[in-house]
Amino acid sequence: MTPSVGWIGCGVMGSSMVKNLLSGGYSVGLFSRTRSKAQSLIDLGARWAASPMHLAMENEIVISMVGYPADVEMIYLGDQGVFSPSAELCRCRTAIDMTTSTPSLAVQLSKAAQNLGIAVLDAPVSGGDVGARDGTLSIMVGGDQDAYDQVRPIFDLLGKQSILQGGHGAGQHTKMVNQTIIASTMIGICEGLVYARQSGLDPNRVLKSVSGGAAGSWSLTHLAPRILRGDLDPGFYVEHFVKDMGMALDECDRMGIELRGLQLARQLYEEVVQSGGAKLGTQALHGAIESLAKRKSTS
């Protein structure tokens, strides 16, 4: 029998992921701080819940996809959180946090859930709004093998791959690797497009050539065309990317390593935030890169 799922967070990616669960035959309960964001999903058959606590009382599996670690802490450990009901009232047996959060919080959640008999997985994703819509996300999982095996059908519905990376927090560490790679990749993409224009090339023709070579990447294929169209709508918010880079740099400090490319990327993205671009997509970095290039050419 298909387990019922309680879902927390109806943002850019979460809404599409819920639609995929509904299409896959799952009964889905919903909670979001703003009910209006969930209305289109309720219209499709999802059930509204009064709080994360109620989701835990009504569903075998609870999944969260929210913005910041503080949000994760509130929805699990708050007064009306997922871990609030007594063991007798709690129906939830597996909690999956798909937010990009801190490894230490993933460990904290797993310990907090033990007395309730709830297994916890940290399972951040990569693939943006396109991957969430198409069910082609890459899911990076931390936690116990048994818990992972039990919810694998859900991961298979939401993504093209899910890989158990290790114990609690390992999924979040893997996501830090992902964000570190993307950070420097986005600088290269934006600088390459600026170079193409400045040298008199047709950037669209250039993109066709370099996408098929060693420079090819998911970001080049999906975000560079948006840049060329002037489309800055978010597949992933700049402010959330800045948050992720900050968490990765905090982990670097803890481990005693220095990643200068990541440091530079955060600095450049912070300039995008300061110029009013916090709610734009990560491809908005192109404007900051282009402005820096023009300053050099006119100096």
Catalytic residues, by residue number, are 175
Tell me the two tokens of residue 181.
Answer: 């790679």
Q: What are phi and psi of 165, to 5 degrees?
A: -90, -20
- Do 219 and 186 touch, CB atoms closer than 8 A? yes
Cα 187 from Cα 278, distance rounded (Å): 17
Cα 240 from Cα 277, distance rounded (Å): 12
- Do 69 and 105 touch, CB atoms closer than 8 A? yes
